[in-house]
Structure 1
Amino acid sequence: MSDFEMTRTLDEHAAESALRADVLHGLTRTPKVLPPKWFYDARGSELFEEITRLPEYYPTRAEREILLERAQEIASASGARTLVELGSGSSEKTRHLIEAMPALDTYIPVDVSESALAGAAGKLLEEHPGLRVHALLADFTRAMRLPESPGPRLVVFLGGTIGNLLPPERAQFLASVREMLSPGDTLLIGTDLVKDEAVLVAAYDDAQGVTAEFNKNVLAVIDRELGADFHTADFTHVAVWNREREWIEMRLRARSDAVVKIRALDLVVPFAAGEEILTEVSAKFRQEGVRRELAAAGLELTQWWTDAAGRFALSLSVAGREAG
């Protein structure tokens, strides 16, 4: 695979060390919290794929609708010769952009999963034999240096994943992305929009219980990786809309008093009946708020596209002459 290269910025023990640190910090504080990235082992990834096909879960369909309709406009507006995707996964949605960019020279997928990067690259190179793929095994929430590639660059961050970051984390993330860009480079972000509370809650608490199983999978990950004795049946999946902060909160609520032992950390974690672990925040956005957050990072929002129902948005912003 002569047109494929991978740069590793994470060592083989990075994930284990990060999990240990997150669990120790998150389950010894009040209220308890676990980062949503630990949903995604092999089983969690399968469950999320299932979630994207549920009738209640609209974001994936809405974002794909925009990409299919606007890929040519995005390609033309960016003029990109390098496409960088943060949290690329299977690179499935990005294919719509790549197909609309005949002048594209290099694709740089960034992900924490080496197998996902290699698998996606193999498929893309079969479909686009002239494309160069330089994968980056890295955590996109940390500062990183992109490999050399021709400009202009288009950085994409799809799926509404930016909503999983708290406002200070978003500000830090956008500032770090701006530092990667040269003047005239562009950033494409997917953002789920504020809408009716019932629609939002249903998207995170489906009738079939798939999201509930997905949420509880974080406990199965901790059991397996850290020798814990969580019992998923002892916890209830909860999804609530926080009106003041305009975000969905996913939580796991203890059904009764319990004590959980985590052998790898030599840690005992007590739970009172009704006590909750916050496992995910998923912020929803309004155009003016997105524009304001981008501007604070030195990025000017220039294009705003929504699906026909106005549920989801893709925004294109351009890097100005100076960061910040």
Structure 2
Amino acid sequence: MSAEPLEIYLEEQDIGRSLREDVRAGLTARPKWLPPKWFYDARGSELFEEITRLPEYYPTRAERAVLAERAGEIADCTGAKTLIELGSGSSEKTRLLLDAFTRRGGLGTFVPLDVSVSALRQSTAQIATDYPQLRVRGIVGDFTRQLDRLPTGGRRLVAFLGGTIGNLLPIERVEFLTAMRAALEAGDWLLIGTDLVKDPAVIVPAYDDAAGVTADFNRNVLRVINRELGADFDPEAFDHVAAWDPEQEWIEMRLRARRPMRVRVLDLDVEFAAGEELRTEISAKFRPERIRAELAASGFVTEHFWTDPGGLFGVSLARAD
């Protein structure tokens, strides 16, 4: 069965407007910030895939280990008819779930949601070829804004993997989980991956690898702004910084200006002092009781919580109450 035409709820003009709004808000704030979603143009996506293969970057391997062990249990427990994946990218880890559901039988539809038309078109075509029994409906949308566009009917399982929820600030997590629960019916399921609190000596190198791939990925947000908004950032004039915040229990990625500079972007002249930092990402790490409490506060009951053998990464299976 071939993939259905993409359902597009996020047009190019929407993306451009969102970028302009974020850049204006972030670069006029004190301290300055930019949201991490703007890392991911074609080059940024390639760099992130490279990061996931680095020896220092444990989250992808650890989460894959959990899914490889528990996918059959997830399929049996949920009995889902529709599998929805948020921020799907290449859907690589989701194939572990698709394989398990294929063995079990009963899954009829796979719905990946992503902001990238090109990535989604490629991944849905490949999934449709490899799983011909499935109806494949790709949705172009932003998981923070378009959850009301998710298909209804049948028992649904929403997969939100990769620890991406950690990129949201606490208030944003509350808003996301609340909207997620509103989009589901009682008895539907949420499978969510969360990186766990551990020794910072393990966490920090995952965001500051020896080969400098993450540094290049971090600077890519400036290249995106240059290309899309006609800005004149010099990406090489910024150092990559990865810092652990023990109070918030999250890692922060920042770009630190090596020298004083003035950047023209939109109608702004943005001043950077030498040593001034621009925050580009947070990645929160969780304790099991914290993610369970946040899910419960939004109307979910955690039925299972699994970790990899090293206890590095957690996967929660929660039911909409």
TM-score in terms of structure 2 length? 0.97
1:248 aligns with 2:251: yes
State the partner residue of 2:89: 89
TM-superposed CA distance for 1:2, in Å, is: 5.0
- CA distance in 1: counterparts of 2:144 and 2:3, whole angstroms: 27
Write the letter of the residue equivalent to 1:38: W
2:183 to 180, 185, 189: 180
- CA distance in 1: counterparts of 2:53 and 2:3, whole angstroms: 33
State the partner residue of 2:61: 61
TM-superposed CA distance for 1:144, in Å, is: 2.9
Write the letter of the residue equivalent to 2:290: G
Contact 1:299 1:318 in 2 (8 A): yes
TM-superposed CA distance for 1:10, in Å, is: 1.2
TM-superposed CA distance for 1:118, in Å, is: 1.3
Contact 1:247 1:284 in 2 (8 A): yes
TM-superposed CA distance for 1:149, in Å, is: 4.9
Trace 1:225-264 onto structure 2 (pairs within 5 A): 225-262=228-265
TM-superposed CA distance for 1:92, in Å, is: 1.1
Give structure 1 stretches of 5+ with no counterpart: none
TM-superposed CA distance for 1:143, in Å, is: 4.2
TM-superposed CA distance for 1:6, in Å, is: 2.2
TM-superposed CA distance for 1:145, in Å, is: 2.3
- CA distance in 1: counterparts of 2:73 and 2:25, whole angstroms: 44
State the partner residue of 1:300: 301
Trace 1:3-82 onto structure 2 (pairs within 5 A): 3-82=3-82
- CA distance in 1: counterparts of 2:123 and 2:99, whole angstroms: 15
1:170 aligns with 2:168: no
Contact 1:82 1:149 in 2 (8 A): no
1:223 aligns with 2:226: yes
Contact 1:105 1:150 in 2 (8 A): no
1:191 aligns with 2:168: no
SS of 1:233 mapped into structure 2 = helix
Comparing 118-127 with 288-297, greater Cα deviation is found at 118-127
TM-superposed CA distance for 1:147, in Å, is: 4.8
- Relative to structure 1, the CA distance from residue 21 to residue 252 in structure 2 (aligned partners, 3 Å threshold; closer, same or farther) is same
- How many residues are treated as equivalent by the alignment? 318
- Relative to structure 1, the CA distance from residue 66 to residue 274 in structure 2 (aligned partners, 3 Å threshold; closer, same or farther) is same
Q: CA RMSD in A?
A: 1.1
- CA distance in 2: counterparts of 1:5 and 1:145, whole angstroms: 19
TM-superposed CA distance for 1:130, in Å, is: 1.4
- CA distance in 2: counterparts of 1:211 and 1:296, whole angstroms: 34
- CA distance in 1: counterparts of 2:244 and 2:221, whole angstroms: 21
Q: Percent identity?
A: 61
Write the letter of the residue equivalent to 1:117: L
- CA distance in 2: counterparts of 1:148 and 1:275, whole angstroms: 45
SS of 1:145 mapped into structure 2 = helix
TM-score in terms of structure 1 length? 0.96
State the partner residue of 1:104: 107
- CA distance in 2: counterparts of 1:148 and 1:61, whole angstroms: 30
